[in-house]
Structures are given as C-alpha cells and as structure tokens.
C-alpha cells in the first residue's frame, strides 16, 4: 500500500534499521525493487528525481507506482532532490506521498523559508517532507579541512533547522558524495558528527550518496570496461554504524544504475543476434533486483513490513 514516508521512517529510527529509498527511472527499476522488497518483507521508498520525472513523465511514474503498491508491503512515493517548487507542488497534488525540498545550495535563511512553505503545502495533504542542511559533495572532492567543515552539516544548526521548518526527516552531509565519482577513492563517513547530530535531532536522518556496490556488480562492470578501481564507495561497516547512530533512510541510485548498465552491457555482448528487448533487459532487471535485496539485508529492514 502507498503510505506517507514518515509512517515507515519513524519506526525505523525507533528500532534501529534503515529504509532503502531506491531511485527509479522506468518499469524495470520499479519492478526490480518492489519484487526484492516484497520477497524480504521490507518497507521501501520509491523515489524519482526531477530528471526521472522529466524522462518518464510524472503521470506515468505515479500510475506505475500505484500498481506496484498493490504489493503487500508499505511503499512511499517520494520526489528526490526537489528544487523546483512548481514540480513539488504538482507532485503533492498528483499522488506522491513524500517530497524532498533541497535548499542546501541556498542561504540558511532562504532554505528555512522555502522548506517551511513546502511543509505547509505537504502537511495539508498529510504528505511527508524531507529537507536538507549541509551540502553533499559531487564531482569534486573537498580540498581542505576548513572547506570540509563548511560543507558538512553543523549539528546545532541542524537541530535549529529541523525545529524552525517542521520537516519530517532531515538529509545531512557527513562525507558522502553523489554519483560514481565516489568510487575514485574510499569514502569515509564522519560518524562522530552524525552522533552529535542524532543527539540533537530526533527525526529520521537521511543519508544521500551512500552507494557501495556489490562485488558481483563491480566484477561485471569492470569486465565491461567501467573504471571503478579498487575503492568501493561507502563501506558496509560505515553504513552499519550510520544506521546504529540514527540514519533511517538511505538513498540508492548509483548502485542501481551500475547494476542496470552492467546487465545491459552483458546482454549486448552475449546476445548479439537477439532483438527482443525483453531478453536484452532481463539481466539488468535481475542484477538490480539482487542489488536491492542486498541493500535491504544490509540496512536490516528485512521482515519490518
């Protein structure tokens, strides 16, 4: 069934597990993650970025997820990194059960005022709001400690922000990064900072940019020439610690993209004569489903639905 995200995030924070939030782009992604979650009885969040909405169309995405939500597990449909207020407003009106407003690039004051506006719209329809404080890296690495400190979430400011905005969950920056960029080097989470934030912020805490990549996907991707190198993004050990200290929603985008791409490349290599798209997409689907299952087990959300 389709539920507001906070309904599945609150118990996660209280009981010490994390709900996986999978970014989907099409039917294959959606079916893969919902099937994995149904098999393992895990609540999940299905989320679409503004890019995915532009690609697939909001109405198509909502219609697909409504069908998927017939599965016997709670599912929330969430806008990931909403920056455009019109898109957020439309999502709230059209059937999403959760939205993120990402004002992390704005000034603190502007982030507060726009987040408050989104909270007002969303709460009127019992829809959850994820907000963000502190910027999550991407493309370029931090160059110095000072710069690192400037980008990572300040615990006191996070508490203040949560109180002022009335958001339901809070995305923080503790050293993760978006995209496959992180595979260039090992990502280490600032667990001490997380502990301080979790002490002051009692809301479910959200971790972005935490892909780690399963071994089999790495092997396949490397076999097909993707340069992932030795590093594996965020270590499973760090993820476990983060969950222990209050992270209750973990976004999974890059891992699914890598699984999809590895599966498609394998199919194209091994089925040169095949022109049946269903056969060509099957390995990608299976790899994504396996990736989703591994995340559910790592996040300990198995059996919580």
Catalytically annotated residues: 80
Of residues 79, 91, 95, 7, the one with CA closest to residue 43: 7
The counts of H helices and E strands in the chain are 13, 10
Say if residues 193 and 134 touch (Cβ distance below 8 Å).
no
Q: Name which of residues 205 to 224 contact Zn ion (CB under 5 A).
A: 208
Least distance between Zn ion and beta carbon 209 (Å): 6
List Cβ neighbours of 124 (8 Å cut-off, separation of 6 or more): none
Tell me how far apart the alpha carbons of residues 254 and 198 are, in angstroms, rounded to a whole number.
Answer: 26
- Which are the contacts of 152, defined by CB distance < 8 A and separation ≥ 6? 134, 173, 174, 175, 190, 193
Give the per-residue contact string, 246-285, with Zn ion (x = CB under 5 A; - = no).
----------------------------------------
Find the shortest distance in angstroms from Cβ 225 to Zn ion.
Answer: 27
- Least distance (Å) between residue 120 CB and Zn ion: 23
Query: Which is closer to Zn ion, CB of 211 or CB of 301?
Result: 211
Q: Which is nearer to Zn ion, 138 or 166 (CB)?
A: 138
Shortest distance in whole angstroms from residue 151 CB to Zn ion = 14
For the segment 82-101, give every residue that binds Zn ion (CB under 5 A).
none
Output b/e per residue, 196-210; b: 16+ Cβ within 10 A. Answer: bbbeebebbbbbbbb
**Closer to Zn ion at the Cβ: 253 or 266?**
253
Residue among 128 and 267 whose Cβ is closer to Zn ion: 128
What is the DSSP secondary structure assignment for residue 182, as one 8-state letter?
Answer: G
Contact string 33-72 vs Zn ion (x = CB under 5 A): ----------------------------------------
Least CB distance to Zn ion at residue 130 (A): 10
- For residue 253, the minimal CB distance to Zn ion (Å) is 7
By C-beta, is 133 or 220 nearer to Zn ion?
133
Number of residues near Zn ion (by CB under 5 A): 1
**Closest residue to Zn ion: CB criterion:** 208
Q: Does 193 bind Zn ion (CB under 5 A)?
A: no
Which positions from 222 through 241 interact with Zn ion, judged by CB under 5 A? none
Choices 200-208, 217-225, 229-237, 278-286; region in contact with Zn ion by CB under 5 A: 200-208
Q: Residue 185: helix, strand or coil by DSSP?
A: coil
First-last CA distance in the chain: 11
Give the span between the Cα atoms of 147 and 158, in whole angstroms.
Answer: 18
The Cα 231–Cα 186 span in angstroms is 5
Interatomic CA distance for residues 299 and 292, integer angstroms? 11
Query: Distance between CA 169 and CA 305 in Å, rounded?
Result: 20
- Closer CB to Zn ion, residue 208 or residue 289? 208
Residues 6+ apart with CB under 8 A from 261: 221, 226, 284
* Of 2-10, 91-99, 124-132, 203-211: span binding Zn ion (CB under 5 A): 203-211
Cβ 223 to Zn ion, closest distance in Å?
Answer: 28
Instruction: Say whether residue 78 binds Zn ion (CB under 5 A).
Output: no
> Cβ closer to Zn ion: 3 or 210?
210
What residues make contact with Zn ion under the rule CB under 5 A?
Answer: 208
């Amino acid at each position: 069934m389709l539920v507001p995200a906070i309904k599945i995030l609150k118990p996660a924070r209280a009981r010490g597990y994390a709900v996986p939030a999978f970014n989907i782009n099409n039917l294959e992604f959606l079916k893969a993650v919902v099937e994995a979650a149904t098999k393992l009885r895990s609540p999940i969040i299905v989320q679409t970025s503004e890019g995915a909405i532009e690609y697939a169309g909001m109405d198509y995405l909502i219609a697909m997820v409504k069908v998927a939500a017939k599965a016997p597990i709670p599912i929330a449909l969430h806008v990931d990194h909403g920056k455009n207020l019109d898109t957020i407003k439309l999502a709230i009106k059209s059937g999403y059960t959760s939205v993120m407003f990402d004002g992390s690039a704005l000034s603190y004051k502007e982030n507060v005022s726009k987040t408050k506006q989104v909270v007002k719209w969303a709460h009127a329809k019992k829809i959850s709001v994820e907000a963000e404080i502190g910027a999550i890296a991407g493309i370029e690495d931090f160059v110095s400690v000072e710069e690192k400190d400037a980008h990572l979430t300040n615990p006191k400011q996070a508490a203040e922000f949560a109180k002022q905005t009335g958001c339901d969950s809070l995305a923080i920056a503790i050293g993760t990064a978006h995209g496959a960029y992180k595979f260039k080097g090992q990502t280490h989470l600032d667990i001490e900072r997380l502990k301080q934030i979790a002490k002051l912020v009692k809301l479910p805490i959200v971790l972005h940019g935490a892909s780690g990549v399963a071994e089999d996907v790495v092997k396949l991707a490397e076999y097909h020439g993707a340069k992932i190198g030795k590093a594996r993004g965020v270590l499973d050990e760090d993820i476990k610690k983060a969950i222990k200290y209050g992270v209750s929603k973990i976004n999974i985008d890059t891992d699914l993209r890598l699984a999809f791409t590895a599966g498609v490349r394998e199919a194209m290599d091994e089925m040169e004569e095949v022109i049946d798209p269903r056969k060509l997409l099957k390995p990608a689907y299976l790899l994504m489903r396996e990736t989703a299952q591994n995340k559910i087990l790592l996040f300990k959300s198995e059996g919580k639905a």
